[in-house]
Amino acid sequence: MNGANVERIQRQLEQLAEFTATPGEGTTRMSYSPQGQLAREYIKSQMLEAGLSVREDAIGNIFGKSAAQDPELPSVMVGSHFDSVPNGGAFDGPAGVVMGLEVAKLFQEQRLLPRYPLEVVALVEEEGSSFGRGLLASSAIVGKVDAAELHRLCDSQGRSAAHCMAEVGFDADRVASVVRPASTIKAFIELHIEQGPVLEQASLDVGIVDVIVGITQLVVTITGKAGHAGTTPMNRRQDALVAACQVIAQVGEFARQAGEETVATTGKLQVFPNGANVIPSKVIFTVDIRSKDWHKLQQVVEQTKACIHQQSGAGIHCHIEQPLLVAPTQLDPEIHQLLAKHGEALGLKQRTMVSGAGHDAMMFAGQTAVGLVFVPSRDGLSHHPDEWTDYAQIQKGIEVIFQTVKEITEASNYDE
């Protein structure tokens, strides 16, 4: 298969994987961190090399825009995110950013001039690992984030998102300028690793996503009263951690009862003051709940909230925040059909599938026509240092998108 250049894809992914705070222990690249900034400069350099004009918006999203027969027309946007989870893998996000870079490079090499501009995008803060609010940048681009939220959201050291942005030259107070009116985007197409076992188990080359599951995240703060572990009788304790454990043990059961592949996870747990001989006075933990069925999602949310409130009383107080709530998202059938047509023409083995992972694509879906292409994940593993997808597999996914984007941008040869 000509076209997408596997060596270049490998080189760019290996270079991005270098930008981690935990070398040898997976990819840890927080937005606005030194590693995030190194990745930023590299991505911008690769956009320039692909002949794109580069800009960054007020919160640090990077855009590389091509020349076009009609530059005023809406862009066909391709890309993904370049932040990571703690000790995650090297492909979650970067595979989609490199897809965008490669599509742009192929346009340049094949002297293609699109009628609609091609726009490569590298997004910050999709994972929510820095400030506890996933899909932050794509939410801002579609107008769902205000400056107050960026001043309110904080990292584990209590630094606000606005502060962290300002530290590297971005400006949360100008977040309104990040909004892209729907009229400026003709389509958004993302390539992402599947992060599950389906494609590998069926020996398929690509998955074309029709639905992304609904997602919500709760941040629960339970407060009690610190005390001496040795001298405080069991009947006189207000133990915040014991109360939290009653909830955490239940959320999995609520999800199992809901069925329909509904899932619930507590991934973050902070205990204060976190001393072995101190009764915990405060606990902050997260509950991530997902389902392709909106009613099941809501059912588990309500059960979880009720269980939390049942812990209140006798000196125990509970507070719930819900920074993220996105309904199950249907992607664009026409884009889906185009991707399937080009996958077939390329002789790829493919299937339609649901995404159990959330993606920036779901935020853009309310704004424009959106497509999402999966490539296989070895052992279905992701959010883990051993996350892996063969570069040749990524190349196949990129080829499908390149052919599709050529059609959607109505590209023609400069020499014609």
Q: Which of residues 230-269 bind ligand HGY (CB under 6 A)?
A: none
Per-residue contact string for residues 387-406; x = within reach of Mn ion by CB under 5 A: --------------------
Radius of gyration of the chain measured on its C-alpha atoms = 22
> Which segment (52-60, 126-134, 196-204, 313-321) binds ligand HGY by CB under 6 A?
126-134
**127 contacts ligand HGY (rule: CB under 6 A):** yes
Give the strand pairing for 369-375 and 206-212.
Answer: antiparallel
> Which segment (91-99, 134-142, 198-206, 318-326) binds Mn ion by CB under 5 A?
91-99
**Residue 94 site contact among ligand HGY, Mn ion, none (CB < 5 to 8 Å, cut-off depends on kind):** none
Out of 57, 83, 92, 332, which residue is the one contacting Mn ion (CB under 5 A)?
92
Residues 240/280, Cβ–Cβ less than 8 Å: yes
**358 contacts ligand HGY (rule: CB under 6 A):** yes
Residue with tokens 């320039």: 48
Shortest spacing between CB 400 and ligand HGY, in angstroms: 22
Residue 243, token pair as written in the block: 């109360």
**Residue 399 site contact among ligand HGY, Mn ion, none (CB < 5 to 8 Å, cut-off depends on kind):** none
Residue nearest to ligand HGY (CB): 357
Out of 125, 126, 205, 387, which residue is the one contacting ligand HGY (CB under 6 A)?
126
According to DSSP, the residues that pair with 282 across neighbouring strands are: 223, 272
Judged by CB, which is closer to ligand HGY: 16, or 104?
A: 16
Residues 353/374, Cβ–Cβ less than 8 Å: yes
Per-residue contact string for residues 77-106; x = within reach of ligand HGY by CB under 6 A: ------------------------------
What is d(CA 93, CA 360) in angstroms, rounded to the nearest whole number? 10
Out of 161, 357, 394, 411, which residue is the one contacting ligand HGY (CB under 6 A)?
357
The distance in angstroms from the start CA to the end CA of the chain is: 24
> Which segment (88-96, 289-297, 300-308, 394-402) binds Mn ion by CB under 5 A?
88-96
What is d(CA 36, CA 176) in angstroms, rounded to the nearest whole number? 23
**Residue 134 site contact among ligand HGY, Mn ion, none (CB < 5 to 8 Å, cut-off depends on kind):** ligand HGY
3-state secondary structure of 329: strand
**Which of 130, 121, 149 has the alpha carbon at shortest distance from 33?**
130
Single-letter residue type at 331: L
Q: What are the residues whose beta carbons fall under 8 Å from the beta carbon of 21, sequence distance 6 or more?
A: 28, 29, 30, 33, 34, 35
**57 contacts Mn ion (rule: CB under 5 A):** no
Judged by CB, which is closer to ligand HGY: 126, or 149?
A: 126
For Cα atoms 410, 413, 416, give the angle at the middle one, nearest 5 degrees: 115
Judged by CB, which is closer to Mn ion: 57, or 92?
A: 92
Residues 229/394, Cβ–Cβ less than 8 Å: no
For Cα atoms 115, 334, 68, give the angle at the middle one, nearest 5 degrees: 10
> Which segment (86-94, 136-144, 339-347, 397-405) binds Mn ion by CB under 5 A?
86-94
Q: Which of residues 324-343 bind Mn ion (CB under 5 A)?
A: none
What's the 3-state SS for 220-257? EEEECECEECCCCCHHHCECHHHHHHHHHHHHHHHHHH
**328 contacts ligand HGY (rule: CB under 6 A):** no
Residue nearest to Mn ion (CB): 92
**Which of 320, 371, 330 has the alpha carbon at shortest distance from 99?**
371
**Residue 149 site contact among ligand HGY, Mn ion, none (CB < 5 to 8 Å, cut-off depends on kind):** none
**134 contacts ligand HGY (rule: CB under 6 A):** yes
Residues 126/149, Cβ–Cβ less than 8 Å: no
Shortest spacing between CB 370 and Mn ion, in angstroms: 15
How many chain residues interact with ligand HGY (CB under 6 A)?
Answer: 5
For CA atoms 385, 390, 394, 395, the dihedral sign is positive
Shortest spacing between CB 157 and ligand HGY, in angstroms: 22
**288 contacts Mn ion (rule: CB under 5 A):** no
List residues binding Mn ion (CB under 5 A): 92-93
List residues binding ligand HGY (CB under 6 A): 126-127, 134, 357-358
